[in-house]
Amino acid sequence: MLVANLDKTEKKALRNQFGETLVALGEENQNIVVLDADLACSTQTALFAKRFPERFFNQGIAEQDLMNTAAGLATTGKIPFLSTFAIFATGKAWEPLRNTVCYSHLNVKICPTHSGLSLGEDGASHQSIEDIALTRVIPNLVVLVPADAVETEAAVRWAADYVGPVYIRLVRPNCPVIHDTTRYRLEPYQMQVLRPGTDITLVGTGETVYHALIAAERLATQGIEAEVINCPFIKPLDPHALIESARKTGRVLTVESHNVIGGLGGAVCEALSEQLPTPVKRLGVQDRFGQSGTAEALFAEYGIDSAAIEAAVLAWLPQH
Amino acid sequence: MLVANLDKTEKKALRNQFGETLVALGEENQNIVVLDADLACSTQTALFAKRFPERFFNQGIAEQDLMNTAAGLATTGKIPFLSTFAIFATGKAWEPLRNTVCYSHLNVKICPTHSGLSLGEDGASHQSIEDIALTRVIPNLVVLVPADAVETEAAVRWAADYVGPVYIRLVRPNCPVIHDTTRYRLEPYQMQVLRPGTDITLVGTGETVYHALIAAERLATQGIEAEVINCPFIKPLDPHALIESARKTGRVLTVESHNVIGGLGGAVCEALSEQLPTPVKRLGVQDRFGQSGTAEALFAEYGIDSAAIEAAVLAWLPQH
Amino acid sequence: MLPETSPLTTTTDAVTPHSPLSRDALPTLAAKLRLDILQMIFEAQSGHPGSSLSCIDLLVSLWFAHMRHTAAQAKWPQRDRFVMSKGHGAPALYAVLMEAGYIPKEEISTLRKVHSNLQGHPASRYVAGVDVSTGSLGQGLSCAVGMALGLRLDQSPARVYALLGDGECQEGNTWEAVMSAAHHQVSRLTAIVDRNRLQIDGSTESIKALGDLAPKFEAFGWNTLTIDGHDFDQIHQALMEADRLAESSTRPTVIIANTVKGKGVSFMENQAGWHGKAPNAEQFEQAMTELQATYSRLLAS
Amino acid sequence: MLPETSPLTTTTDAVTPHSPLSRDALPTLAAKLRLDILQMIFEAQSGHPGSSLSCIDLLVSLWFAHMRHTAAQAKWPQRDRFVMSKGHGAPALYAVLMEAGYIPKEEISTLRKVHSNLQGHPASRYVAGVDVSTGSLGQGLSCAVGMALGLRLDQSPARVYALLGDGECQEGNTWEAVMSAAHHQVSRLTAIVDRNRLQIDGSTESIKALGDLAPKFEAFGWNTLTIDGHDFDQIHQALMEADRLAESSTRPTVIIANTVKGKGVSFMENQAGWHGKAPNAEQFEQAMTELQATYSRLLAS
Ligand SMILES: Cc1ncc(C[n+]2csc(CCOP(=O)(O)OP(=O)(O)O)c2C)c(N)n1
Ligand SMILES: Cc1ncc(C[n+]2csc(CCOP(=O)(O)OP(=O)(O)O)c2C)c(N)n1
Ligand SMILES: [Mg+2]
Ligand SMILES: [Mg+2]
């Protein structure tokens, strides 16, 4: 399912893929409408706006209004996709998302871009390191975190078909394409083993999946076989693959561009504690705020890039 | 530390205790100011408003404004306590809480009442079953969930002394007083073993602590010794007592008036997975919305009252 | 709970909307529904009598004389839409929906009980006739704008109504929506503000003064009409005028309806304390006696 | 990061506030700080030039001619307060704070870099002179009201200023605060709206029309003044007038400052595209040439 050569794979921004897929969906389905809150040029919903101006609504800098307008549109049979930065979609509009969209089980797709640390230079106020926790706790909401452009397209298309609220967490930078387009298929609610291994299980979601894969390659040269699992569906989550892997390796390391509290690491700990208690270490933002910097600098500073993953594995595993 | 006879202990509403403690603090410290958002009669900040009208600000039905006004007051050296229902404090004002109060590390105390299912008849739209997850994930924020009026008073007083943002989760109904006032002391960041046991560890927070204690009493008559742990500090959390208990019992059951995702159960799973992987089951709202009903009816319906705890333990433990 | 249906459910059957009641029938019906409201809240021993009595005349006018809709086809695409933005007025809405056939009458005694469809605040998953759940204030007007935008895309003639509390106009989201509606020129949207001058903690003017609401909406680009929200003629005329304005102007219209919180029950009128409190048996009896007297008088006239 | 200090830090030393610059010095200083702004953003290759250039004349007038404050005692309790509600204008604020001695000049090249104090948006934990972190739009005016309430409790004569973007006036929280300020009669609060008629995706009027802002604030009970936000005389007079109104009326005052986004750099002026984009080397050179020319001309005159 993976591309042949990870080191040399092309890069594509998930937000660009998102914008393009929206346009394609717009062609296919008259009911697709798109909303933004004065960030259309950043989130790439501007592509849809250009192609289908009458089905695009820029609600200005008003995120509660954004969410509730989408809710209203959904009641008339439209399929609203909305975007803005993740911190605003989930933070400023949490209550409309919860009480209006999810409680009413409305067919709204919340697809913010610029989640996590890789938003970069804008700094802490704009870096959502909490949105997985914020969305995972809402009943009725499906939470998806695509790892690359291929998965992004599949996720957006899947969300368009699924009836009900879906959250898709996207990021700003160009991300290496890890999935082979021709062989890739989205498996709803499943985790996928992207690379088999026996010594430790690395679980990533979104951007960190690539870093986990690279770390695994480097570890392999040191005689450590890390199994790498991709977790695109944070909720609902069928932990089958995780449990099988943990049974084999006995150690799980989670990696996320998110607070280590309540996010992917939290979901993994909850699943394992219930079904197969296993030692887990969580890489991610260690409960502090983000800061300005390039995506790369921040992934290093906050210890979630491939080097940090490699180091964490080496520190954890018994000496060879 | 516990009262002598749990069955016959008096009841007191945490929100009433909150209101009274605010008045006492207001007498002691001129810098205490209080804010509400048109729920002062429910949250009991009305007591403070009556006594210190010039230091009370009713911001009307405007929760973002409530949070940010408190932030502004804090920058002038005031110690703002704000209240409203938990769903609005954390849901409508999440982003101001995060970006303005916590990122600036302002000395604001967020003390909503009416959290969880026991809010009762108003139903799902008003029942906050997510606020532990929503607050636990914010850096710099201390999260406290008092189990009774005694702990509420201590928590509010502790928050007044602590410099920085504190979230105190309170509830609407009259709650049995479980702590003996004369012997009780708040132990910052610690969990307390309220009842020793060897067969299973029950961890509660807030209202559910009482139910866990009652369940433990009933289980004892059936030959099962449950250790009961109170977790008033959700964050920061020193899991020492939990780890010791889990080492002894090998089984942990968490109980919360909150979604089982990302709350107390999540915090416990994260701590144990890291330090001592142990089987955990989580009682709480099983990722669905609340509904209207009395507090008692809802605790039964959602499986978090003493009977449900007892049943869960009996179902889990090997037959005697 | 209702079975899951697609919002796109359409029908090939001809739909006959509910035929409007005559002007004369409205006060009598409103008087009757006031009895239902009290009944519901008393049996639940919980709920918002003041808020419900304040808006029932407006709801009756809308649902029985003005809106095109039918319980036989609750999801009829051409139906006029209604958003109960002040969701805590649920008993008033439930009384209307029962009368209009959306909710079985026998559910009247289930308000706010476990497993009931009559949730404390109107929930779309539980009750036909409710398109979007409300309860958290400030959100309904944005939802209504979204509905109007969706209907306009479909070239539907349907109108959209939203009922807001006056205290609810303190919510920022309300003003986001006010700005949005004007910008999008959704002239088929009519907002009605239940201007009873009370919120939970006291008078709106003492808590966070709203002052004159009409100039605020005007400054934001709306048509405004101010009426007595208990005068059925004025309500009717305002709704007709809103219809005219929907075609003759590009602006949305707000009806500021001056009302009396607790209207119809002497001891509840204009009392913040009756915002959200159930009467005890004695109070209930007195309230019912008063309401019954009004109802009988209207029936007889 | 700054060391943790209590907001109550007081001092027994006499505090001498920064002495105001003369009217004539202001345009020159603003021209100089425009160079700093461009420098910072170019070195960072990230940041908001249009937004910063739009408000620098207002900031210079406030911080160097009007506000009572001193970098020597950043937490002086009697200081006037300033909230940069449009936090993305951070480079303008940083240029001012550097000039005023709150931030060491050598930090100019650290904007938006890891471990820098010059975060993308002003953060109170990192920079003296910033009382509350901003960046998320819509929140600053409420904070400013809170400050004004706190200062009034302390019977402080300090004034509070908040600078808002015009697009920021689409945020509901802004209107919550507008209503709140009027209700609480915090007349020592002055809001300044940087009315450059642009937001990220285009003109404010095309995205979500703000129309005339003054009547909106008036309808909400504010004094309003409308000026050219690049005319130092008008800015000065408006700030003086706001001072007078603070004592003669019970209303807060808003200054609607008509501005040009990107002001001072020809190719950035009135271009939404320069809202938040760093110039490349060539553009930077052109911009600096233009700004330097203005600065030299003013220095000479
Ligand atoms: C966002 C939000 N905040 C607070 C509440 C609690 N609440 C319920 S009703 C009410 C007062 C409403 O007053 P108003 O809008 O004037 O309605 P009325 O009952 O007077 O018609 C409040 C504050 C709520 N439901 N939603
Ligand atoms: C709540 C929120 N939503 C969105 C953004 C992203 N954003 C940053 S600047 C901006 C446009 C601001 O326009 P305006 O207020 O007119 O400021 P200007 O730069 O024109 O002075 C937006 C939407 C934000 N910072 N905060
Ligand atoms: Mg009212
Ligand atoms: Mg602007």
Q: Over 80: is that where the pLDDT of D200 sits?
A: yes
Closest partner CB to C172 (pick from D171, D208, D220): D171
**Residue with the nearest Cα to atom 16 of ligand 2?**
D167
Closest partner CB to A38 (pick from D113, D133, D201): D201
Verify whether the Cβ–Cβ distance C6 to A70 is below 8 Å: no
Upper half-sphere CA count for residue D25 (Cβ side, 13 Å): 8
At C195 the pLDDT is 98
Closest partner CB to A62 (pick from D88, D115, D170): D170
Mutate to test the interface with B, among C84, C121, C208 (most CBs of B within 10 A): C208
- For D253, phi then psi, to 5°, come to -120, 140
C133/B contact by beta carbon, under 8 A: yes
- E strands, C85-222, are 160-165, 189-195
B130/A contact by beta carbon, under 8 A: yes
Chain B residues with CB-CB distance to C112 below 8 A: 121, 123, 292-293
- Dihedral of the alpha carbons of C235, C241, C246, C248, in degrees to the nearest 10: -170
**C137 within ligand 1 shell (Cβ under 6 A):** yes
Average pLDDT over residues B177-198: 97
D122/A contact by beta carbon, under 8 A: no
At B227 the pLDDT is 98
Which atom belonging to ligand 2 lies closest to the Cα atom of D165? 15
Which atom belonging to ligand 2 lies closest to the Cα atom of D164? 15
Tokens 């109007």 sit on residue: C148
Angle of helix C49-61 relative to helix C232-248, nearest 10 degrees, comes to 60
Low-confidence stretches of chain A (pLDDT beneath 70): 320
At B320 the pLDDT is 58
At C4 the pLDDT is 67
At C18 the pLDDT is 86
Which atom belonging to ligand 2 lies closest to the Cα atom of D136? 26
**Residue with the nearest Cα to atom 4 of ligand 1?**
B61
Whole-structure pTM value: 0.98
pLDDT, tens digit, 9 for 90 and up, residues B48-95: 999 999 999 999 999 999 999 999 999 999 999 999 999 999 999 999
Q: Which two tokens stand for residue C135?
A: 């309860």
Mutate to test the interface with A, among C81, C83, C142 (most CBs of A within 10 A): C142
Neighbouring chains of B at 3+ CB pairs under 8 Å are: A, C, D
At A68 the pLDDT is 98
Amino acid at C260: V
Ligand 2: centre distance to CA D199 (Å): 6
Verify whether the Cβ–Cβ distance A72 to C149 is below 8 Å: yes
Helix ranges, D185-231 (H)? 204-208, 213-219
pLDDT, tens digit, 9 for 90 and up, residues A58-108: 999 999 999 999 999 999 999 999 999 999 999 999 999 999 999 999 999
Q: Over 60: is that where the pLDDT of D9 sits?
A: no
Verify whether the Cβ–Cβ distance A38 to D199 is below 8 Å: yes
Mean pLDDT of chain A: 97
B270 given a catalytic annotation: no
Mean pLDDT of chain B: 97
Residues with CB under 6 A from ligand 2: A 38-39, 61, 88, 92; D 51, 54, 86, 88, 135-138, 165-168, 194, 196, 198-200, 261, 275
D177/A contact by beta carbon, under 8 A: no
Cβ-based neighbour number of residue D142 at 10 Å: 33
pLDDT, tens digit, 9 for 90 and up, residues A256-266: 999 999 999 99
At A73 the pLDDT is 98
Q: Which two tokens stand for residue A295?
A: 């995506």
Neighbouring chains of D at 3+ CB pairs under 8 Å are: A, B, C
D98/B contact by beta carbon, under 8 A: no
Give which of B313, B136, B89 is closest to B231, Cα–Cα: B136
Amino acid at C128: A
Q: Which two tokens stand for residue B91?
A: 């849901």
| Candidate list A20, A63, A130, A151, residue with the active-site label | A63
At B319 the pLDDT is 72
Cβ-based neighbour number of residue B206 at 10 Å: 31
Q: Measuring CA to CA, how many Å separate B64 from each of A30, A91, A174, B84?
A: 36, 11, 34, 11
Q: Which two tokens stand for residue B231?
A: 């977790």
Q: Measuring CA to CA, how many Å separate A191 from each of A14, A17, A181, A261, D60?
A: 20, 22, 18, 20, 56
Angle of helix D281-300 relative to helix D25-44, nearest 10 degrees, comes to 170
Chain D residues with CB-CB distance to C216 below 8 A: 216, 219-220
Ligand 2: centre distance to CA D272 (Å): 12
Least CA distance to C45: which residue of chain B?
A: B121
Chain A residues with CB-CB distance to D135 below 8 A: 122-126
Distance, in angstroms, between B295 CA and closest chain C CA?
10
Least CA distance to C180: which residue of chain A?
A: A59
Per-residue pLDDT of chain C (301 residues; tens, 9 = 90+): 787 665 555 555 678 888 999 999 999 999 999 999 999 999 999 999 999 999 999 999 999 999 999 999 999 999 999 999 999 999 999 999 999 999 999 999 999 999 999 999 999 999 999 999 999 999 999 999 999 999 999 999 999 999 999 999 999 999 999 999 999 999 999 999 999 999 999 999 999 999 999 999 999 999 999 999 999 999 999 999 999 999 999 999 999 999 999 999 999 999 999 999 999 999 999 999 999 999 999 999 8
At C12 the pLDDT is 54
**Residue with the nearest Cα to atom 6 of ligand 1?**
B39
* B9-48 residues touching A, CB cutoff 8 A: none
Q: Are C97 and C124 in contact (CB under 8 A)?
A: no
Which atom belonging to ligand 1 lies closest to the Cα atom of C50? 19
Least CA distance to A286: which residue of chain B?
A: B139
